[in-house]
Amino acid sequence: MIEKVPMSAHEISAAIPHQLIDQFGRKVDYIRLSITDRCDFRCQYCMSEDMTFLPREEVLSLEECARLVKIFTNLGVSKVRITGGEPLVRKNALWLFEEIGKLENLKELVLTTNGSQLEKQAHALKSAGVKRINISLDSLNSERFKTITRTGELQKVLDGIQAAKLAGFENIKLNTVLMRGTNDDEALALVAFAMQEKIDISFIEEMPLGEVNHARESSFVSNADTLQLLQKHFSLVPSTHHSGGPARYWQVADSTTRVGFISPHSHNFCESCNRVRITCKGELYLCLGQEDKVELMPLLRTHPTDDKPIIDAILASMAIKPKGHDFDLRRAAPAVVRFMSHTGG
């Protein structure tokens, strides 16, 4: 009898047309694409106060971004999230949303934003085919908001939320990072605000990426603790809702609001990971918390009319997608020495 040799991730993906399957059998059908490392905020957990941004030639052109998304959707990706930095500060970003929105294989085009530009752009984004918007909001106190973001104005974000609602977006979600001693006393108020606005909210545990100006171990707030606090004040029912990402949801009884928890520390979600990230430099990261990557920009620019080398590189990357991110708050140094703004929010 001839012993059967297991296929590599590349062979599995190649054998199953239009699918990306990694070495652990996980299907990758979701990409997060950063289109800029620039932002009009300087959030404490995302970037340093005095950032040095990439020169233009080291950033993917919008045409290269569109080409990559088309390649990935032809390989079975059905959900694309556009991130930054702040994606809406990128000049002509709307063109990219319009191009992606035309793709037949794409089921869901999503935007993650700080909300500062939504008052001006929400209607156009809806027309372009954006289905859902995630808006970062870490405080409802204008002075505290300014402290956390260093440059942000709370009212602009609140106006942006209203603009998105008026544009007809029904799937709006707030993303909140709680930090002990900074904004952890606002969990109840933020959920109450989400209920008032009839939108959802997710609490995201701070991730050990890049150098920051506070000790993460002392500022870290576990989502388990946040859930316990919320359950004392709201009637929360476990929900089967799944947005395609790592959040686990609870429904607030007698409300349209769902509360999600993204818990890379207290509840590792790697076993069901279905996503990869592409930085604005064209680096394909197979995991947020690991350094394994594939450089796609050189391939895009060396082969401007031939997608096969890019497709081959993407298929081969499935063999190096790690099992998990291995975050550990006890480390003296961050798990990955790159800012969240570099990888994409």
pLDDT, one tens digit per residue, over 285-318 is 998 777 789 999 999 999 999 999 999 999 999 9
Domains recognised in the chain with CATH numbers? 28-343 (3.20.20.70)
Contact 58, 281 (CB under 8 A): yes
> What is the pTM (predicted TM-score) of this model?
0.87
Contact 223, 236 (CB under 8 A): no
Element (H, E) at 230: helix 223-231
For 201-258, what is each residue's pLDDT tens digit? 999 998 665 455 445 567 889 999 999 999 999 999 999 887 777 789 999 999 999 9
The residue behind tokens 């701070």 is: 206
- Is the distance from CB of 341 to CB of 304 less than 8 angstroms? no
